[in-house]
Amino acid sequence: MTQGIMLSFYATCLTGLEQPLAEELKTFGALEVKPGRAGVAFGGEWESALRACLWSRMASRILLPLLHAEIDGAESLYEAAKTVPWEEHLGPEQTFRIEAHGTAPGLTHTLFSALKVKDALADRFRARMGRRPSVDTKEPDVRFQVLLRQGPRGGKPSADFSLDLSGDSLHRRGYRTRAGEAPLQENLAAAVLWLTGWNGKPPETPLIDPCCGSGTLVIEAALMAADIAPGITAGRTFGAERWPGLDRGIWKRLWVEAAERRAAGMDRMPGQARLIGYDQDEGILRAARSNAAAAGISRLVTFERRAFADWTPRMALPPGGPGIIVANPPYGERLSEAAEATALYAQLGHLLRSRFAGWEAGVLAGSQALGHRLGLRARKVHALRNGPMDVQLVVISVPADSEAGAEAPAPEAGPGEPAADRGKRRFTPATQALTGGGSATISESAVAFRNRLEKMEKHIGKWARREELDAFRVYDADLPDFNAAIDRYGEHLVIQEYQAPPEVPEAKAERRIQELLLIAPEVLGVARDHVVLKRRERARGGSKYARQERPRGEFIEISEYGLDFRVNLHDYIDTGIFLDHRLVRKRLREEAKGRDFLNLFCYTGTATVYAAAGGAKSTTSVDLSRTYLDWAADNLRINGFQAGMDGDSAHKLVQADCREWLTDAARTVGRRYGLIFLDPPTFSNSKRMETDMDLQRDHADLIRGAARLLTSDGALVFSTNARRFRLDEGALQAEGLEFRDITRATLPKDFEGNPNIHRVWRIVRTGTTG
C-alpha cells in the first residue's frame, strides 16, 4: 500500500442512503464522490478508504475495484476472472472467500457464479505458484466481491471484481447481542438520525424513541453524539486487517485516533442520560440494555417501560430540549396488524402534537397513508428500504404552537378527509383503537357498513351453510365508501380492496379500509390474524393468476358441494378457486358422465375435479404453469383421483401454451372430447409465450380451435370475466357453431348483486341437441 496515490473505491449501501453516504464520505477526505444505485463511487488515498471502514455509519461495504469486464456466460466469466491479479492481494498460504451478487445470462445462481470465479483464482495460482490458497466461507483472511450486471439495452453483460476491505457488512457493529422481531439495521438507523438532523447536535440535546424495541436508534444516536467510531465497538474485525497490502502504520494510527476521540466524546457527554428509549415490552427493553452495555455506552442512555397511552401532560421531558424524536413503529405488514398500525401512527402523531412542540421528529412509515396518519405536515420525506420493504422517513418540525401540555383531543381526520366524516357514534373497543385513544368515535358510513355486513352475514351465511359451502362472498362493494369485496374461506376472510376513484383522497380511502379491517372480523366472528387484505387495481398486462412479491406457501382446504379444494389466501391475487364460477363447475359435473373432458387454461383444476366427480371417462387439463398443474394434481388427489403427466393417466395434465396445443391437436387425428371447458385470462404476456394473448382479439380462434376437438354431440362451455367482452358471433356462425348465453343460470346467490361478474356461453355444432 503506497500512501499519496489516488485510487478509486466503491462504498455499497442500502437503497435510499446514497446521498447521505456521499456527504459522509466527503468528511473522510473522499474526492470525486459520485452517488450511484445502492452505492457511492469515490476517489482518495488509502487512508480515506480505511477511515471509511472504521467510521462510516451508513456504508455496507468498502470495496477496492480490481477489474471490470464484459462477459457473455459462465466461461467468459471464468476467463475474465483468470486475468485478475489475485496474487497481489492474497498469498497461497492464506484463506479466501468469493461472494457473488447479481445475475447475467447463463449466470442466474450466485453460488455457481462464485464457484466459477473461485476456480479461475485457483487455476491462476497453480499456474503461477504451483499451489493455491484455501477457501474459508466463515472467517477468511481475504474476501472478494463479484457483481454481475445484465447490461444496458443493446449492451453486453458485465462483471465487476473487487477486494472487500470491510469483512462482514459494516452494519454489523457487533454490539447487538439480542434483537426484537424486526430489528432495524444499524446503518439504516444511523441514516434515519442523520436525515432527521441529529448529526452535529450539541451533546446536551435530548433524544427520545417512544417505541425503541431493542434500542438500535438510541444506541446509534449515542455513538454519534459521543463521537464514537462504529467500527471500534465490541471488537469487530475488518477484511483489510489480514490483507497483505495493508499499511499497518496508517491502520494503527486511525485506531489510536478513534480511541482518543471516543474518550474525549464520552467526557463531553452530560452526566444525566438524555437519550431515552421507551417500549411497553420489558423483555425487549432488557435486550436494549444488554446491547447498550455491549456498545459501551450504558451511561449515556436510559430504557424505560412506557406505552403511548401512558404519556400524560404532566410527565417531565429530559432537560436541554427541544430535541429529537425518532421512531420505527410497526408498519402493519401482516394484515392482521394493519388496523393496529394505523391506530399506533395516529397515537404517535397525537403524542408529538401534545407533548413535543418545537421538537424535530423522524418517523419511519411503511406507506404514505401511514405517514398521513401522523396528522403533521412533513418537512421532508425520504424514500428508503428496510430489508425487502419500501418505507418512507417522514421528517417533521413539530410546530412550536402545538397543543403541548393540553389534554389532547383524538387525532383529526387525515388530509383530504371531510370533517363531517370524523364520526358521531360510539363503537366497540376494537374500533375505538382507530381513533388513537381519544373520543372513541367512528364515521357514520362505518356504522352503515357494519349494519350492512350484519345483514349480509345473516342472509348469505344461512344460505351457505344450507348449501354446505365453506367459501362464499359476504360483501361486494355494496356501499360506495367501502369499495371492497369480502370473501369467507372457512374461518378466514379475504378482503379485496378495489382501487378508489381518483377524486377520493388517499387518506380517506386508507381510513375506510382500516375501518373495514376492524369491523369485518368482529361482525363475522373471525380472528384478526385470519384476515388477508389484497389491494388490486384493474390493469392491463400479466396473468389473472399473478403472484404476490413474497410467497408464504400456506394452504388451507375448503369444501364446495361435497368436493375439497386447496386454496392459498396469501401468495396470489386469486386464491386458487373462482367463487363466482361455482355453478359453472356444478353444471360441468352434471354433463361430464361418460364423456372425455378437456379443460383449457385449467388453472388449479377445480373444473377438472368436478368433471371427474361427475363420472367423466377421462380428463385432460392444459396450462402453461407447472405450479398450477401441480396444484391441480393435489386437488384431484384429495378427492380420490390420481393425475399424471404421462399419456396413460385417466386424468392427464399437460404443460403447454393452450394456443399452441390446440394447433398441434388439430393437425393430428387423436382424441375428441365430449365436453370442453374454456376459461382463458383476459390478457397474458407470460415470458414463456411466443406472443401475447388478448382475449377480445383472440377468442374466436380459441373457440374455433377448441370446437374442432368436439365429438359430434359434444359441447363447449366458454367463460370470461372480461367486463367489456363482446362475442364475435359472426365468426362462430361461419364455423358452423351455435351458441347460447347461459350467464344468468350460472350466477350463484352470493354474486347476484354483480350480474357482470362473468359471462358464460354453451357452444355446440349446428344441428347438435343442447
Average pLDDT, consecutive stretches of 10 residues, N- to C-terminus, the chain (770 residues): 77 94 94 93 94 96 96 94 96 95 87 94 96 92 93 81 94 81 86 94 92 94 95 81 92 95 93 89 93 94 86 73 91 57 82 90 90 89 87 93 42 34 33 38 80 93 93 93 92 87 74 84 86 64 44 87 95 93 97 97 97 97 95 96 85 94 78 95 72 88 95 96 93 95 96 93 81
Report how far apart, in Å, the C-alpha atoms of 588 and of each of 10, 443, 716, 749 are. Answer: 63, 46, 10, 18
Predicted confidence at residue 181, as pLDDT, reads: 60
Strand partners, 739: 763
- 561: alpha, beta or left, given left = phi > 0 and alpha = psi -120 to 50? left
Cα separation, 719 vs 683, whole angstroms: 14
Identify the burial level of 502 via C-beta atoms within 10 angstroms of its C-beta, where 0-12 means exposed, 13-18 middle and 19 or more buried: exposed
C-alpha cell at 230: 462504529
d(CA 628, CA 618): 19
Q: Cell 351465511: give the residue.
A: 461
Residue with cell 391441480: 632
Report residue 249: phi and psi, to 5°. -65, -45
Q: How far apart are CA 39 and CA 15, in angstroms?
A: 8
CB-neighbour burial class of residue 672 (10 A; exposed 0-12, middle 13-18, buried 19+): middle
Q: Is the previous residue joined to 230 through a cis bond, with omega within 30 degrees of 0?
A: no
What separation in angstroms does the CA of 70 have from each of 7, 67, 74, 76, 148?
Answer: 22, 10, 12, 8, 10
CA dihedral 437, 439, 442, 444 (to 10 degrees): -170
Torsion angle defined by CA atoms of residues 57, 61, 67 and 72, in that order, rounded to the nearest 10 degrees: -120
Q: How far is CA 691 from CA 158, 323, 372, 698, 702, in A?
A: 29, 60, 43, 11, 14
With beta carbons less than 8 A apart as the criterion, state whether 727 and 737 touch. no
Strands (E), 511-641: 531-536, 556-560, 563-567, 596-600, 618-623
Angle value at C-alpha 679, between 766 and 499, nearest 5 degrees: 135
- Between CA 74 and CA 107 the distance in angstroms is 6
266/299 Cα distance (integer angstroms): 9
For 596-625, give one letter per residue: b (16+ CB within 10 A) or e: bbbbbbbbbbbbbbbbbbbebebbbbbbbb
C-alpha 422/C-alpha 351 separation (Å) is 19
Show the CA angle centred on residue 338, arms to residues 430 and 58, nearest 5°. Answer: 140
366 — alpha (psi -120 to 50), left (phi > 0) or beta? alpha
C-alpha–C-alpha distance, residues 221 and 277, integer Å:
11
3-state secondary structure of 235: helix
User: What is the distance between the alpha carbons of residues 163 and 86, in angstroms, rounded to a whole number?
Assistant: 9
Start-to-end C-alpha separation, the chain: 87
Question: What is the spatial distance between Cα 379 and Cα 382, in angstroms, rounded to a whole number?
Answer: 10
Q: What is the DSSP letter of 414?
A: P
As a whole number of angstroms, the distance between CA 145 and CA 97 comes to: 9
| Residue-level pLDDT at 179 | 66
Non-local (6+) Cβ contacts of 282 within 8 A are 305
Give the distance, in angstroms, between the CA of residue 331 and the centroid of all CA atoms in the same chain.
12
Which of helix, strand or coil describes residue 148? Answer: strand
Q: Which of 393, 367, 210, 216 is nearest to 304 (CA)?
A: 210
Among residues 94, 98, 165, 95, the alpha carbon closest in space to that of 136 is found at 95
Burial of 383 (0-12, 13-18, 19+ CB in 10 A): exposed
